[in-house]
Structure 1
Amino acid sequence: MVKGLNRILQGFKNYYSLSLIGQKWLGKIDWYVLERLNLFWNKKRNVRKKHGRIKDLMKKITYTLVKVGS
């Protein structure tokens, strides 16, 4: 799943990093992707708090997911 997501995120990064306004939005896209992955992860693991344990997810995907905003 992360491989396919990385392709899409890399394309976004290449296309929108050319403009200054695009760079502003890329950071927001990073946060949105992280939130959605966290919701998916917690639902899959039957975690009670929908938005909890985001730090655990960040530790697991830090080196595998492409950062668009930086």
Structure 2
Amino acid sequence: MWDGKEGFDFLGFHHRRSQIESRKGQRYNTTIQIPCKKAMDNMKKKVKEVLGNRANLKKEMYELVKIINRKIVGLRNYYKLKYSNKQLSKIDWYIIQRFTIWYNSKKQNRPRHRWIKEVVNKLKEMGLKKLAY
């Protein structure tokens, strides 16, 4: 682990040594934690359970936003660390994609990713939270 090429997974995080430069230009070694691959897959699985269920086509978008927001807040409270912003933004994009697929299935639009701008605007209006800041 000391050379920074390898790390280990523990409690949903991948721990790795890294060299960081301070504002004054001094370099020092530290351990960084980012969500591991298995944790990222579990996050995607939780989102897909809510938005991939065909029974949820009967629900309104604001109901699903309330359900997803609870999951987002819980995941953000656990996984939000200094260096994990890049990985969490990937999950934010995945949530937008799943909402777009759900929206197009509900409205019976053919291309699955067609109305993504409209869906993003609606999600912002309804107050969808984000994992990454």
Looking at CA atoms only, which structure, 1 or 2, has the larger radius of gyration?
A: 2
From 78, 87, 90, the equivalent of 1:15 is 78
1:45 aligns with 2:107: yes
Question: Over aligned residue pairs, what C-alpha RMSD do you find?
Answer: 1.1
Contact preservation (8 Å) 1:2, 1:65 = yes
Report runs of 4+ in structure 1 exceeding 3 Å deviation. none
- Distance in 1, Cα, partners of 2:67 & 2:118: 22
Contact preservation (8 Å) 1:27, 1:69 = yes
Q: Deviations over 1:10-29 (max 9, x none)?
A: 11111111251x32211000
Considering fraction of residues, name the structure with more helix: 1
Gaps of at least 5 residues in structure 1 are: none
1:56 aligns with 2:118: yes
1:69 aligns with 2:132: yes
For CA contacts below 8 A with separation 6 or more, give which structure has more relative contact order. 1
Q: Deviations over 1:5-60 (max 9, x none)?
A: 1010011111111251x322110000000000100000010001111010000110
Considering fraction of residues, name the structure with more strand: 2
Contact preservation (8 Å) 1:35, 1:51 = yes
TM-score by length of 2: 0.49
Gaps of at least 5 residues in structure 2 are: 1-63
